[in-house]
Amino acid sequence: MHRLQAFREMRARVPQKAFNWLVSFNSSRCIHSLPFATVNVEEISGSQPAEVHNLVQGKWTGSSKWNTILDPLNGESFIKVAEIDETGIQPFVESLSKCPKHGLHNPFKEPERYLMLGDVSVKAAHMLSQPKVSDFFTRLIQRVSPKSYQQALGEVFVTRKFLENFCGDQVRFLARSFAVPGNHLGQQSHGFRWPYGPVSVEALVTIITPFNFPLEIPLLQLMGALYMGNKPVLKVDSKVSIVMEQMLRLLHDCGLPVEDVDFINADGKTMNKLLLEANPRMTLFTGSSRVADKLAVDLKGRIKLEDAGFDWKILGPDVKEVDYIAWVCDQDAYACSGQKCSAQSMLFMHENWSKSSLLRQMNDLAARRKLEDLTVGPVLTVVTEYKDNQIPMVLDALERMHAHLTAAVVSNDQLFLQARLAEVIGKSVNGTTYAGLRARTTGAPQNHWFGPAGDPRGAGIGTPEAIKLVWSCHREIIYDFGPLPQKWETPAST
């Protein structure tokens, strides 16, 4: 009731013209029929609700229970999600039990699947490069996770570039092995990347992702799991699961076998029961640190986490390019209403910046954001200043933080960089850290690692290293063919 009241209050503040823009789009941007799509974005409304189904054992299914999703801007019931309850998880367990522990493919088994998935990536990337498809997913993201068109489009763009990175032979290159000479003739050790499974009702690979990036995070992790030979079951926050449901349909249209992925809509209690009963070999979880810690215990540590970040930025003593720095700070803190795991959470500003127009410009940039074009929602921020002799206090504050995802050290001052940058980076652990005048905390593309550090459960995303770390394990095979030494005799017992 509180959420519905908040939606209604928010809706009351949105001018009718702006709201109409959100639910009824200009005909020049209207999509034509898309072969994979089962929804029409501009028609989703309280009077014409969309439906989201589950995928299990290669079949799309409904449910006896439908969860109603409220429009985040007006509180109308505009999406119906077929949610699985605790009595309905058995088909998912049975589906996963059909996949052996050694996976759907590996370097010795069905290597043709590496090529197939490379082809799927080619076709899916091409589909997302088409304006009508890109626009479809951009506006679908906007409907369930309100953010500006450019922010939503950026999510689609990064997803497409990721798929382009793993076209053709790039998938099999993820399974590249190495060989080391042995101790004698005929002996060699070979290291391989091996999938996790699953093998039976005790083993599965799962992906659980949050609401704020309904396409990019689940798609990148899903494809990484598939590339390495796993059979994943995917759960996305029900509020935004329609985006990945439509993306899965696109992947099927691009040649992905419908049996390769299971897709479940369920509440947290049901999903927890599924995980406990199935005893997963590996689970990827992106989201709340509290939930992550619970799952780590429940799953006996067989989990990788990309949890929440408390992300800091330090402005060095060299005050320059104030307009640009102010704009980046505004983007890092308030784009997507600050609902990014990489959002700028704390700003440490050298005292020299207090003499500049930075704070005024940041205030002006924040003030121009408005609900009408979805460039902002409710936000809260705190600005902290520091002096040269307070660097140890800043480092102590960084040490006390617990979520080490992204960070930025903004400076091109060579003396500061030589004296302080190494100290700051050397005494911090954030997994994705930017340094230099253009440093930021958000907007990670697909061409570098994105993920936390300082935790052995940490999961990365986007790069070959991230995919291999999260979605495969190391297997060593030692070939030892001989020959035996001449005149070998059985030695004495040892």
Report the catalytic residues. 306, 341
Report the distance separating Cα 257 and Cα 172, nearest Å.
18
Q: Which string of DSSP letters, residue by residue, matches 140-170?
A: HHHHHS---HHHHHHHHHHHHHHHHHT-TTH
The count of other CB atoms within 10 Å of the CB of residue 492 is 4
Cα 473 to Cα 71, 128, 169, 465: the distances in Å are 42, 31, 21, 12
The token duo for 108 is: 């010795």
Report the distance separating Cα 430 and Cα 313, nearest Å.
11
Calculated CA dihedral for residues 447, 449, 451, 457, nearest 10 degrees: 140
Report the distance separating Cα 46 and Cα 8, nearest Å.
14
The crossing angle, in degrees rounded to 10, of helices 241-253 and 131-144 is 160
The answer to whether the CB of 244 falls within 8 A of the CB of 263 is yes
The answer to whether the CB of 281 falls within 8 A of the CB of 204 is yes
Q: Which string of DSSP letters, residue by residue, matches 162-198?
A: HHHHT-TTHHHHTT--EEEE-SSTTEEEEEEEE----
The count of other CB atoms within 10 Å of the CB of residue 41 is 22
Question: Radius of gyration (Cα) for the chain, nearest Å?
Answer: 25
The answer to whether the CB of 430 falls within 8 A of the CB of 444 is no
Residue keyed to tokens 């074009």: 373
Nearest to 472 by CA among 236, 177, 67: 177
Q: Report the phi/psi class of residue 38: left, alpha or beta, with left for phi > 0 and alpha for psi in -120 to 50.
A: alpha
Q: Is 321 exposed, middle or buried (0-12, 13-18, 19+ CB in 10 A)?
A: middle
